[in-house]
């Protein structure tokens, strides 16, 4: 039922995509036409490989939570990955976004207009096993002007040329939010996800399950395709906040939505 429902929602999203705002349509079309003329080319500098890119998302969604209070405002930005032959890498991304469109959230948190995240990591591959460990620091443009720190652990295994399984874990080192009184519970201190992806030929399909401590649980179904040098990803999210200990706010996070992501690396 989940897969059928997911496919149904994705088809509805594709059919109604023409009704999205003119800003998104114009941005997407211009990006495809312009970027398709640019060949992908990594920049080599001795043992270093530099890979800059630009990106666009139809909505901002947390990778490990599915949380967003925004269904309509697009997100766009630029990133760069600097990798050493040893596997050590530095990744930096700046995103322009508007994650709090309602008046009450703006009053509490600000407009959250942008974020800047930087990671230091190590990626290694052994036969069909891929491992990645990194530390990420994000400057979040909110009224509190937060700096957040997180540790990420990721692993994947190639079952064959078409199919990959993987899992990831993130730990918030900043200090998780606390809710409730009997007892007080940490929220978002730990989050997990597991996935399986399969190359269908025309596109790669990925199914993901994830959850975060005392907060959200989610399922996703995504299709990914590179076309004319541009990577397109269309993902359906089904997010539940039934386990959120702040019982007055689950309506802000319970949702179903489809997110279109477009990225070009140079």
Both structure tokens of 2:
């989940």
Residue 31, classed as helix, strand or coil, is helix
CATH 3.40.50.2300 at 2-265, yes or no: no
CA distances 92 to 1, 245, 248, Å, are 39, 33, 35
Q: Are 202 and 224 in contact (CB under 8 A)?
A: no
Q: Are 260 and 237 in contact (CB under 8 A)?
A: no
Query: What is the phi-psi region of residue 203: left when phi exceeds 0, alpha when psi lies from -120 to 50, beta otherwise?
Result: beta
* pTM of the predicted protein model: 0.78
* Dihedral over alpha carbons 98, 76, 43, 197 (to 10 degrees): 100
- Bridge partners, 59 (sequence order): none
What is the residue-wise DSSP string for 26-59? Answer: HHHHHHHHHHTTSPP-PEEETTEEEEEEEEEESS
| pLDDT tens for each residue of 59-71 | 888 888 877 755 5
Q: Which of 17-21, 199-203, 214-218 has the highest mean pLDDT?
A: 199-203
Residue 177, classed as helix, strand or coil, is strand
| pLDDT tens for each residue of 18-31 | 455 444 444 554 45
Instruction: Report the pLDDT value the prediction gives residue 206, as an integer from 0 to 100.
Output: 98
DSSP letter, residue 142: S
């Amino acid at each position: 039922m989940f897969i059928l429902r997911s496919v149904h929602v994705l088809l509805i999203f594709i059919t109604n995509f023409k009704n999205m705002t003119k800003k998104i349509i114009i941005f997407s079309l211009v990006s495809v036409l312009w970027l398709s003329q640019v060949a992908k080319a990594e920049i080599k500098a001795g043992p270093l490989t530099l890979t800059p890119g630009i990106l666009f998302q139809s909505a901002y969604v947390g990778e490990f939570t599915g949380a967003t209070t925004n269904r309509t405002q697009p997100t766009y930005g630029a990133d760069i990955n600097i990798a050493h032959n040893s596997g050590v890498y530095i990744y930096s991304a700046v995103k322009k976004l508007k994650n709090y469109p309602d008046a009450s959230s703006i009053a509490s948190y600000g407009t959250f207009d942008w974020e800047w995240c930087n990671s230091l990591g190590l990626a290694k591959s052994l036969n069909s096993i891929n491992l990645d460990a990194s530390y990420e620091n994000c400057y979040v443009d909110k009224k509190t002007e937060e700096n957040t720190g997180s540790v990420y652990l990721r692993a994947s295994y190639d079952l064959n040329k078409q199919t990959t399984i993987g899992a990831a874990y993130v730990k918030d080192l900043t200090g998780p939010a606390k809710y409730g009184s009997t007892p007080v519970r940490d929220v978002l201190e730990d989050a997990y996800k597991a996935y399986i992806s399969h190359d269908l030929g025309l596109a790669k399909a990925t199914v993901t399950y994830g959850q975060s401590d005392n907060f959200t649980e989610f399922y996703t179904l995504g299709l990914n395709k590179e076309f004319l040098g541009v990577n397109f990803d269309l993902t359906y999210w089904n997010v539940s906040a039934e386990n959120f200990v702040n019982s007055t706010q689950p309506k802000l996070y319970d949702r179903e939505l489809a997110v279109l992501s477009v990225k070009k690396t140079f």
